[in-house]
């Protein structure tokens, strides 16, 4: 019989534990897992090679970039003002590029007296070194100095709280604390990795590009002067939004799961068992893994749940599993998929001793993409585990919502 007894994850943590110290330690880990969005944007190697093959006047129309995580030295340049006249000392000789030419058969736009007139994005006033239009900014570099990060230690061990179940109260308190750490770390990653810009920008042809080779040597070239040889020898190419004429964001890429992934969901779980405690409770799922393809990934999963019935008898369930996810259906921002997992479940409740057994399950996933790297997720899971006190199988249903960071 299901119970409507209230449950909150804070009930796992004993009042006798040094809660402020644990919270401070969790906050430090959240800061360590997060970061700041930088003024630097990396141009991928393939994109740089593509740009080097284009006529100089077309290179800045659409440039693929990925924002860096790091320190921001100054605010981005305002891109609402037209650019200054083109430089007169063009080292390769000949006239400067004559403006942007729209691809795919679009209109062509010319330039008069060195001032670019663009029908779409408007480019900012110049401040780049060596170019007409204004003073150069402060010192530049691929990355500024980082402030030292200092952290604390977790509070000294305290006596474990008494458990209302058959045992394992201290372990369950530790699991709840780790869950709080994961939650705070998720907040930090959403604010940085999930929010970083990954898409296309518009650049002025003389926007300075910082090229770094394999030996660590760095040099600066305008976008219009980069040759295929420069692109081939560059190990990293960076453009900055606070120098030159800045950059204008044109739009993010669609959600791209390829690469490492981190997911966290919170919700409710119901334990169904004829010979053990059956009740509703809090449920959470933390996952870390890799997507070799944007549609398919493999993740390690930790599902943590617990609650109590109307008689204050508690139960806990911990699932450790390997999970395969697939998203075969995509409709605009909606992505529908499924998953299957196999692993082990640890059970502890007031009606039976602590135990563990094999667990298998699966369910449905729905993701709503917000950025190229961040999506909201809804998840419905059914798991059957060999943890019934009589030696049989017991089922659990979990319904959660959260975020996926790619």
From first to last of its 406 residues, what are the pLDDT tens digits of the chain? 334 344 444 444 443 444 455 555 555 554 445 558 889 999 999 999 999 999 998 999 999 999 998 888 888 888 776 665 665 554 443 344 444 333 343 333 333 333 333 333 434 443 444 333 333 344 344 444 444 434 444 444 444 433 344 445 555 667 677 778 878 878 878 877 778 899 999 999 889 999 999 898 999 999 999 999 999 999 999 999 998 889 999 999 999 999 999 999 999 988 776 656 667 888 999 999 999 999 999 999 999 888 776 677 777 888 999 999 999 999 989 999 999 999 999 988 777 788 899 999 999 999 999 999 899 999 999 999 998 888 888 888 999 999 999 9
Closest by CA to 304, choosing from 171, 117, 138, 193, is 171
Q: Quick one: pLDDT at residue 274?
A: 62
CATH of 255-405, one of 2.40.160.20, 3.40.47.10, 2.40.30.10, 2.60.40.60: 2.40.160.20
Rounded Cα distance, 249 and 229, in Å: 28
**Cα Dmax for the chain:** 88
pLDDT score recorded for residue 210: 96
Domain with CATH 2.40.160.20 in the chain: 255-405
The pLDDT of residue 276:
64
What is the structure's pLDDT at 6? Answer: 40
Asked if 43 and 239 touch (Cβ cutoff 8 Å), the reply is: yes
């Amino acid at each position: 019989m299901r119970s409507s007894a209230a449950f909150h994850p804070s009930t796992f943590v004993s009042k006798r534990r040094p809660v402020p110290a644990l919270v401070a330690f969790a906050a430090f880990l959240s800061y360590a897992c997060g970061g700041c969005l930088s003024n630097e944007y990396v141009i991928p190697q393939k994109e740089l090679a593509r740009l080097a093959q284009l006529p100089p006047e077309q290179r800045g129309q659409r440039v693929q970039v990925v924002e860096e995580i790091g320190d921001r030295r100054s605010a981005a340049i305002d891109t609402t003002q037209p650019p200054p006249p083109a430089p007169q000392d063009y080292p390769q000789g000949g006239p400067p590029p004559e403006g942007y030419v729209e691809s795919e058969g679009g209109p062509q736009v010319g330039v008069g007296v060195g001032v670019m007139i663009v029908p779409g994005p408007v480019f900012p006033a110049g401040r780049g070194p060596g170019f007409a239009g204004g003073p150069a900014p402060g010192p530049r570099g691929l990355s500024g100095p980082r402030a030292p990060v200092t952290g604390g230690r977790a509070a000294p061990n305290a006596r474990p709280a008494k458990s209302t179940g058959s045992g394992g109260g201290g372990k369950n308190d530790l699991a709840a604390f780790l869950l709080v750490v994961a939650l705070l770390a998720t907040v930090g990653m959403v604010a940085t990795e999930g929010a970083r810009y990954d898409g296309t920008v518009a650049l002025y042809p003389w926007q300075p590009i910082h090229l770094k080779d394999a030996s660590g040597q760095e040099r600066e070239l305008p976008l219009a002067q980069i040759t295929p040889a420069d692109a081939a020898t560059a190990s990293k190419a960076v453009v900055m939004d606070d120098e030159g004429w800045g950059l204008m964001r044109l739009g993010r890429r669609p959600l791209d799961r390829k690469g490492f992934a981190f997911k966290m969901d919170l919700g409710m779980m119901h334990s169904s068992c004829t010979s053990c405690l059956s009740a509703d409770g809090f449920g959470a799922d933390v996952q870390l893994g890799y997507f070799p393809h944007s549609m398919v990934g493999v993740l390690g999963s930790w599902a943590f749940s617990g609650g109590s019935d109307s008689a204050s008898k508690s139960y806990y369930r911990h699932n450790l599993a390997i999970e395969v996810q697939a998203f075969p259906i995509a409709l605009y921002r909606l992505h529908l998929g499924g998953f299957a997992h196999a692993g082990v479940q640890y059970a502890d409740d007031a009606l039976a001793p602590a135990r563990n057994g094999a667990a298998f399950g699966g369910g449905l996933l729905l993701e709503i993409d917000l950025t190229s790297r961040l999506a909201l997720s809804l998840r419905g899971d059914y798991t059957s585990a060999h943890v019934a006190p009589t030696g049989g199988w017991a089922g659990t249903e979990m319904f959660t919502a959260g975020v996926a960071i790619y």
